[in-house]
């Protein structure tokens, strides 16, 4: 592996398109930086895969982004953050380059949740992998031990978004079913975290079925703010992030399909390059 010491773009990785919602917010808040987005669209979804497979796939993506000049990578994917982040930080970074960083998106959300819930009852809607990992429960309990956390897996929500069915009448059934299930677990929930970066595209349906007065938390805004604060605390890392205001996209799938789907998330045309990861 050949790594450059020159400043490079901020890497953003996701198994599919959901991380684009994180990237969009980061670019809004910090447009001066260069960004490089990588979607492992050929192997999505990650939500139902084992810890070992998610770690292997995420590691391959991280190495690719390091090789392309990134010194800092955001795992814009809750499943990768839940199943791979700790191993990458503890096992891989010390040997690859201890000066590079890989950050997730679960902790920034856990950090702010204490200031968002009024009655300390929080719900999580996420993929099966994220819910089974209990990453949100663990992170929130570490920071806010008085908060009760309940979670429900939403296995059909990502396909609804990926296949452009988020606005379809059929989506109502699946969205309502999982929200009702969550509220039945704990009727006192006053704040719901959308623990998957695809879910903001289902927001009109989610708002329709979430009880009145319950706050819905989408991650992008909080991850972007957290990153800007991280830069203030870590100027050495910030100085390694190039500032040309550019954004480039990589996919492991068909580039035309990526362009079409990415427009749903970004509302602007994109140019994308196809890359291969470990296969």
Spot the catalytic one: 77, 154, 241, 247.
77
Q: Phi and psi at residue 144, in whole multiples of 5°? A: -140, 75
The two structure tokens encoding residue 175: 């969205």
Contacts 24+ apart (CB under 8 A), 231-234: 234/101
- Tell which residue, 98, 115, 123, 127, has the closest CA to residue 197: 127
Task: State the pairing for strand pair 215-217/10-14.
Answer: unpaired
Catalytic residue flag (residue 196):
yes
- SS3 of the chain: CCCCCCCECEEEEECCCCHHHHHHHHHHHCCCCCEEEEECCCCCCCCCCCHHHHHHHHHHHHHHHHHCCCCEEEECCHHHHHHCHHHHHHHHHHHHCCCCEEECCHHHHHHHHHHHCCCCEEEEEECHHHHHHCHHHHHHHHHCCCCEEEEEECCCHHHHHHCCCCCCHHHHHHHHHHHHHHHHHCCCCCEEEECCCCHHHHHHHHHHHCCCCCEEECHHHHHHHHHHHHHHHCHHHHCCECCCCCEEEEECCCHHHHHHHHHHHHCCCCCEEECCCCC
Task: State the pairing for strand pair 148-153/121-126.
Answer: parallel
Catalytic residue flag (residue 247):
no
Spot the catalytic one: 154, 196, 241, 247.
196
Which residues are annotated as catalytic? 77, 196
């Amino acid at each position: 592996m050949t790594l450059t010491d020159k400043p490079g773009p901020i890497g953003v990785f996701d198994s599919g398109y959901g991380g684009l919602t994180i990237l969009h917010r980061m670019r809004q808040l910090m447009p001066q930086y260069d960004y490089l987005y990588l979607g492992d669209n050929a192997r999505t979804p990650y939500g139902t895969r084992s810890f070992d497979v998610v770690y292997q796939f995420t590691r391959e993506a991280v190495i690719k982004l390091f090789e392309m000049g990134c010194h800092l990578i955001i795992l814009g994917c809750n499943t990768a953050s839940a199943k791979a982040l700790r191993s990458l930080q503890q096992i891989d970074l010390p040997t690859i380059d201890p000066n590079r960083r890989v950050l997730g998106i679960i902790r920034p959300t856990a950090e702010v949740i204490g200031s968002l819930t009024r009655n300390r009852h929080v719900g999580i809607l996420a993929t099966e992998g994220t819910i089974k990992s209990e990453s949100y429960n663990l992170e929130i309990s570490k920071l806010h031990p008085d908060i009760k956390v309940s979670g429900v897996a939403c296995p059909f929500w990502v396909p609804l978004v990926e296949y452009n069915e988020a606005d379809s009448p059929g989506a109502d059934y699946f969205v309502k079913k999982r929200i009702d299930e969550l509220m039945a677990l704990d009727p006192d929930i006053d704040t719901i975290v959308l623990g998957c970066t695809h879910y903001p595209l289902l927001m009109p349906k989610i708002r329709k079925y979430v009880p009145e007065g319950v706050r819905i938390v989408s991650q992008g805004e909080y991850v972007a703010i957290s990153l800007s604060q991280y830069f203030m605390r870590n100027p050495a890392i910030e100085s390694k992030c190039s500032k040309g205001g550019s954004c480039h996209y990589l996919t492991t799938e068909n580039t035309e399909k990526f362009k079409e789907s990415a427009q749903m998330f970004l509302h602007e045309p994109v140019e994308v390059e196809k890359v291969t990861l470990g296969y």
